[in-house]
Structure 1
Amino acid sequence: MITNLIIFVVTNYNKIPMSLFSDNIRNLRVQQKISQEKLAEALAITRGRYVKYEDGTSEAPYEILKKIAHYYHISIDLLLSVDIRKIPMDDLLQLENNRLVLPITVDKDGENFIEVVTQKVKAGYLNGYADPEYIESLQHISLPFLGPGKHRGFPVEGDSMPPHEDGSIIVGRYIEKLGDVMDGKTYIFITKNEGMVYKRLNKNKKNALVVASDNSFYPAYEVKASDILEIWEYECSIGRNDRKPEISETASVKDLFLELKREIQDLKIKH
């Protein structure tokens, strides 16, 4: 059961699904019993121009999209990518700046479910993260000790973030604003170019984040703020590995690697 939706903006304005957008603005206007004349006046355009948007014969520019979204107090993402007739509009959680929707599912007792993005469906997440039907189709678990907030589970790959390894699940809490992230903490970043990555925030810059692996073998790198679709802060992990960490061996390997790195740098300086 979907009870409400959280918002976070990521929309491709280069290609607008006109039929869906047109249907949505027509349905909203009819539901609220607003005339085309009144709506056009509120948008500061002519009725003839507005009719073309509603008929799907003309694309609405970005400024008009913003005005329509603010007029109805819903996100631009909803207008462009979701059939709003399938969403209980009264249950929408209103956040600032009309940002993107993520469904929250709850059990019969009203406890939040945690959707788990398994390895099998991971590839489809970038296309489905804003689709209520896709999110509802994911596997669900419940971890009551996590407390308030929207949580989701993501699979771990590789050896860049020990002790987490392939097969583990990182449960993250949804971060609404980029400014809420903190240096030194770990996050699941959903990005346009890198996809889904789990990293430690090394530095929060003005228009980018520097992220790093806990495994020093992998270099830190920068992620542009404009490339980020979602951020989930680490809350807990689910794994099957109960091996005792071999601290001395790990330290020894690290020392060897650092020594090799220093030798390479010395050779570069000499040449």
Structure 2
Amino acid sequence: MPPAPSQAQRNAAARVSLNTTRLQRVTALPANNIYCLHCFRAAKDALTKAMSLPPARKPVDFEPMECRYPSASSSRCAHCGSKNYSCEPVYPLLTGNSMDVLALTHFARLYTTLEDDDADDDASVPPCDSVPMILGVESRQKICGVVLDLWDAFDAILQAHAREYSLGGASTSKKDNASNIARYRDYVVSRRQLLVAQSGPRPSTYTAVGRKLLPEWESNQLLRLEAIDPMYPVWLVALEAFSAGMSEAFNLTQGEDVDEWDEWVVEQMGDIPVQTP
């Protein structure tokens, strides 16, 4: 039987635990990647499983993908560490698309968690909710399905992208894989140089106009699928399906004033952070 820890040992363990808790963070990966592929697919698999339930048990909310690091010095996120995986960042040519997917995900989740602060105290609340919500159950279930469709489309793009550039794969030798990665990096550099030339100089932060243009300029520095890429049409269809799905979800709920509700829906649709080009 192992000896019981001394008070000094318990105090030391408590300090380590406290420091680890303080250092826990949700952070971006290098090169502007905001989640690794494993965390993305874990979130997608969880939502897929939840959406396969009968209609009465389908989710009205979902957890967005994110990488949580146990400490500031961790080289792997908590999920990858627990599974003994290596954190695989999103492919560089899809960095901008990955951030677009995250922006759309957070936009959608805003409406699955939007509480109705103006509801009467005696307003009826569905069993799945603890407080009145702006959108009804069917609307929020629809939004969960819309997000899952977006994630499925982006996962298909990721897989096709890996096949197109022969990135990894069990049938690829280490020598061939290294050669493929080197060619891919060279292509990424050339695309990035072209992007910098197209974007122009960084807007000045000393003027009001420059400060207003800076966020869009910074977003445009991220590589995204272009018309020359085979999966670009799939990305456009995914964006269109997201907008159409959100519109349908909003219209599954009707406010007391139909005209006012229609105006609200139009306003929300205009706030979608990524629109079809």
TM-score (norm 2): 0.21
| Structure whose residues are more often strand by fraction | 1
| Structure whose residues are more often helix by fraction | 2
- Higher RCO structure (Cα 8 Å, ≥6 apart): 2
